[in-house]
Amino acid sequence: MKHYRILNLGLMAILVISAAFIGGCVPAEEGEGGGIASYVPIIILVLLMIAMFYFFMIRPVRQREQKHDEFVQELQKGDKVITAGGMHGEVDRIDEDSIVLIVESGAKIRVSKGGVLSRPEQ
């Protein structure tokens, strides 16, 4: 929920800033070529939208992926984990692209490294 509030505040800020720029734009009089200066508010608005998109959409996803990759690299035999499907198990073996888990019944299952989400809270 916190991210949605920040996103809403960011979108409102973009609207206010764009309204201020657009409201301050005066059309060029006849015979005057506005040149690039007439496009500055639009360019600034587009740059702000790109920055907002990056900081609220792309960057958090990359940070989560990086944390998950670090988590998977730190796993060792005997660690207890929870998979994306909600299965609890203990790491038996770590291969190049998968992990073998031992579940409560003693059965061994193989899951992809991306399928291991977290450690159970102790």
pLDDT at 66: 94
pTM: 0.62
pLDDT at 55: 87
Q: Where are the domains of the chain?
A: 2-74, 80-118
Better-predicted residue by pLDDT, 39 or 111? 111
DSSP β-ladder status, 88-94 and 108-112 = unpaired
pLDDT digits (tens, 9 = 90+) for 27-86: 555 555 556 767 777 888 888 888 888 888 889 999 999 999 999 999 999 999 999 999
pLDDT at 43: 84
pLDDT at 83: 93
The angle at the Cα of 3, spanning 15 to 88, to the nearest 5 degrees, equals 155
CATH 2.60.40 fits 80-118, yes or no: no
Contact between 53 and 10 (Cβ < 8 Å) = no
Instruction: Inform me whether the pLDDT recorded for 89 exceeds 80.
Output: yes
User: What count of residues does the chain have?
Assistant: 122
Residue 117 CA: distances (Å) to CA of 20, 22, 48, 107: 45, 47, 34, 20
Better-predicted residue by pLDDT, 16 or 116? 116
Q: Find tokens 């809270």 and name the residue.
A: 121
